[in-house]
Structure 1
Amino acid sequence: MPEIYGRNLDLNLLRVFAVVAENRSVTQAAARLYLTQPAVSAALRRLNTAVGAPLFVRQGRGLTLTARGERLLASIRPHLQALVDAALEPPTFDPRTSERTLRLGLSDAAELWLLPALLRVLEREAPRMRVISIPVQFRNVAATLTSGSIDAAITVADELPGSIHRQELFWGGFVCLFDPRHARLKRTLTEDVYFGHEHVVVSYNGDLRGVVEDVLQKSRRVRCSVSSFANLGALIDGSALLATVPALVAQQLRTVRPHLKTATLPFGLLGAPMELLWPAAVDDDEACRFVRDQIAHIASEVVPRSRQA
């Protein structure tokens, strides 16, 4: 602990001292401070002891400062006002001039649809703000948020501590992504055709199970398992493999490879809601709130387009 915090001095005594010095009266100072006269007198005695010298002497019916008291008052007066201003003035945040760096925990799916759009918004509205993207997923997001290592997260989540706020962004459906030059699917994809094809899956466990196996308890013919959605477009491109991906991810992958197509799955697979999560400790942080508002707006804009894809 720095030495200044370990010294035996209650900083509130300095406020009492300053008010007594202004009024040259314990009685008047007590009235202004909403304290009793004995409480003010006791505070002055404690401060005299801490300083090691008397700060006031009695003059007539009032008090006058000693030389030591004059020096102390001159030293603390500007700092006391600065402390009051710091405590009572509302925070000021201007996105145009803010140089904050925010750490966002993003699932790999969220990084694809959110991060490019968020960076464009920041370039326009907050050109000096920066973002650090941290990979998270539903298994580790609670620990990452409660540790204070990120300012917000965008992912699906299970149960979370009460200290984490959450805002639902949308329910993300899944589609089947494929290369029509090699996987020649009919307009209506049937279960027999779907399960008859080979698949590439995304597995956070490093195994051959993906969302279909976990949710529907049905096994596919898995040729390849990867740890994120980012490279699925390259794996599908030029192959007969199918990939079951969130609709927003498919939309982003097709912006790079527009020849890829999507098909409606032959079974219901709604998944879980994509949520915006943040620690209660940054709920009133203006920079964090600004970025959270931008994220929510981007989500509201991008979801209708994905439903039309």
Structure 2
Amino acid sequence: MDKKFDLKMLEVFLEVYQLGSITQAADALDMTQPGVSGVLKRLQEQLGVELFVREGRGITATHHAMRLADEIEPAFGSVYSALENLKTFDVQSPHQFKVFANEPMLQRLLPRVESDLSMGQCRIEFHLTPNDEEQLLQQLSLQKADLAIDVGGLSSHSYESKPFFLDQLVLVCSRHHPRVQGEITEQQYYAEKHIAIQLRRSHQYLADYIAIENLEQRSIAGECNSLLSMMALLAKSECLGATTMSLAEEYARSFDLQILTPPFSFEPVTHRMLWHKRSNDHAAHQWLRRKLQELVS
């Protein structure tokens, strides 16, 4: 290979590969779309292989691109980490973090962050996790967010996924429900109406996502995109709802709800911490991960 090989071409390639979009890569690199396309063309000519093919209005990586990315991502990650670690991290120096979190973890973490006296000059700003995975990956890759906390992992190998908090599924309904008191049978579960929560990224109802067996169709009285909104509606109706134990224990008394064990087998609700691998060895990011893990316990 030419000794004058421009490594910048590989940086552009990685950005396009990770984002799956020339437009988004151009924005991330502060380049024009024709500029990014020109770099990819030169790289393909030098390597003698096709890296991306057009598919509809977008692009798809070829197996050559996948192989190249697997080979060079760790090396670029080490370079980014080495450069980042030249900067010392001190909690007494102002530093702003942005964290995506699902509703149970947002409710659990934000008050604890606000009352933590060891934060120094560091600030953590919370936002709800984006609705779809593509948007989430884009935000993490563009470093518009430092990490995310959500149920379920990510499909891309460019991201880390670490168990963060183990929760469990429970059912809730009004404490004054005329037919359900203290416990619920499978027959009662399917006979009652439900207020359902659709998980933000899986496009499944929470109960269906967590249940081990395939649940039968239920009578859905309404859908919510907020667990707290669902609990407020349950307090004023005879419906059932599914939520996490951490949120139910926090708010059941406020909404005058009873907490029930589901009459079916279910997996643990595993909230996971998700971030781009390039941040693995960054001192500030390591501090953020340790701090959140400490606060969630």
TM-score by length of 1: 0.59
1:228 aligns with 2:226: yes
1:256 to partner: Cα distance: 3.7
1:250 aligns with 2:248: yes
**C-alpha distance 297-126 of structure 1, shift in aligned 2 (>3 A):** closer
Where does residue 57 of structure 1 map in the other structure? none
Where does residue 218 of structure 1 map in the other structure? 216
| Paired AA for residue 114 in structure 1 | L
**C-alpha distance 255-150 of structure 1, shift in aligned 2 (>3 A):** farther
Q: 8 Å contact 2:198–2:223 — kept in the other structure?
A: yes
Q: 8 Å contact 2:130–2:200 — kept in the other structure?
A: no
Equivalent-residue separation in structure 2 for 1:222 and 1:264 (angstroms) = 20
| Paired AA for residue 296 in structure 1 | Q
- Listed as ranges, the gaps of 5+ residues in structure 2 are 1-81
| Paired AA for residue 89 in structure 2 | F
1:198 to partner: Cα distance: 1.3
**C-alpha distance 151-87 of structure 1, shift in aligned 2 (>3 A):** closer
The equivalent position to 2:89 in structure 1, one of 74, 90, 93, is 93
Where does residue 67 of structure 2 map in the other structure? none
Tell me the SS of whatever aligns to 1:230.
helix
Equivalent-residue separation in structure 2 for 1:89 and 1:228 (angstroms) = 39
| Paired AA for residue 298 in structure 1 | L
Identity of matched residues, %: 19
| Paired AA for residue 221 in structure 1 | S
The equivalent position to 1:260 in structure 2, one of 251, 257, 274, is 257
The equivalent position to 2:125 in structure 1, one of 125, 132, 137, is 132
Where does residue 114 of structure 1 map in the other structure? 109
Where does residue 236 of structure 2 map in the other structure? 238
* CA RMSD across the alignment: 3.0
| Paired AA for residue 218 in structure 1 | E
Equivalent-residue separation in structure 2 for 1:87 and 1:213 (angstroms) = 45
**C-alpha distance 272-89 of structure 1, shift in aligned 2 (>3 A):** closer
1:174 aligns with 2:169: yes
Where does residue 36 of structure 1 map in the other structure? none
Encode CA deviations 1:195-239: one digit per residue, 9 max, x unaligned: 111111112579x96233455242111111011213223212232
Q: 8 Å contact 2:105–2:149 — kept in the other structure?
A: yes
Encode CA deviations 1:46-90: one digit per residue, 9 max, x unaligned: xxxxxxxxxxxxxxxxxxxxxxxxxxxxxxxxxxxxxxxx97995
1:248 to partner: Cα distance: 1.5
Where does residue 160 of structure 2 map in the other structure? 165
Higher Cα Rg: structure 1 or 2? 1
Larger RCO: 1 or 2 (CA < 8 Å, sep 6+): 2
Equivalent-residue separation in structure 1 for 2:187 and 2:112 (angstroms) = 38
Tell me the SS of whatever aligns to 1:126.
coil
Equivalent-residue separation in structure 1 for 2:121 and 2:295 (angstroms) = 20
| Paired AA for residue 287 in structure 1 | A
- Listed as ranges, the gaps of 5+ residues in structure 1 are 1-85, 302-309
1:164 to partner: Cα distance: 1.4
Equivalent-residue separation in structure 2 for 1:150 and 1:255 (angstroms) = 34
Q: 8 Å contact 1:212–1:219 — kept in the other structure?
A: no
Equivalent-residue separation in structure 1 for 2:169 and 2:238 (angstroms) = 19
| Paired AA for residue 246 in structure 1 | T
1:137 to partner: Cα distance: 5.2
| Paired AA for residue 132 in structure 1 | E
| Paired AA for residue 229 in structure 1 | L
Q: 8 Å contact 1:171–1:271 — kept in the other structure?
A: yes
1:279 to partner: Cα distance: 1.5
Tell me the SS of whatever aligns to 2:228.
coil
| Paired AA for residue 285 in structure 1 | H
Equivalent-residue separation in structure 1 for 2:199 and 2:145 (angstroms) = 21
1:151 aligns with 2:149: no
